[in-house]
Amino acid sequence: MNNRKPEFSKPANSKDGDTGEQIGAKITKGLLCLIILQLLEAKQMHKYEILSRIREAFSLTLPINTVYFILKTLEKRGYVTKTAVEGASAREVYGLTDKGLHFLGFDASRTIVCAKALQPIVVQGHKFVNP
C-alpha cells in the first residue's frame, strides 16, 4: 500500500498538471466569479461598483482588468448580461441571468462543501499536504 501524500504541485514546465501557483490562481478566479454573481444577484451594477464592493468587503487591491475579464467570461457563458444605461455618464451595467442565478445556487452550495473538505489542508512551500 502506498502511503505517500498526494503532491499537486508540478514544475512550471510540466505537462502533467498545474503548479501550486496556477491552482491558487484558478481557485481565486472561481471565488471571484461567485462573489461577482452574488453581488449581481442583489442588483445590477457597473464594473467599477463591483470592484469597489469587492475592495471594501475583502480589502483586496484588485485591478479593474481582472473584474472586466471575469465579467466577459461570465457574459460569454450566459450567466450575466450587459445593458447600456443612458445618462450624463453613459455606462454599462451587468445583471444576473436566470442561468447565472441557477449556477450561483448550485455552485455556491458545492463550494461550501469543498471549502469544508479543504479546511485541514495546509500549504507548505509549493506543495499541498495534509497535516
Alpha-carbon separation of residue 129 from 4, 9, 19, 106, 118 (angstroms): 10, 10, 14, 28, 11
Beta pairing, strands 127-129 & 122-124: antiparallel
Report the distance separating Cα 4 and Cα 104, nearest Å: 36
Per-residue pLDDT of the chain (131 residues; tens, 9 = 90+): 444 433 434 444 445 566 767 776 777 787 888 889 989 999 999 999 999 998 888 887 888 899 999 999 999 999 999 998 887 666 889 999 999 988 887 656 666 666 555 555 444 343 444 44
Domain extent at residue 44: 20-129
Please check whether residue 15 lies inside any domain of the structure: no
Please check whether residue 12 lies inside any domain of the structure: no
**Which of 131, 106, 104, 108 lies closest to 120, judged by CA?**
131
CATH assignment at residue 40: 1.10.10.10
The residue assigned the cell 489542508 is 121
Q: H helices of 47-97, where?
A: 47-58, 64-76
Please check whether residue 95 lies inside any domain of the structure: yes
Structural domain count, the chain: 1
* Inter-residue contact 45 to 93 (CB < 8 Å): yes
Please check whether residue 7 lies inside any domain of the structure: no
pTM for the structure as a whole: 0.67
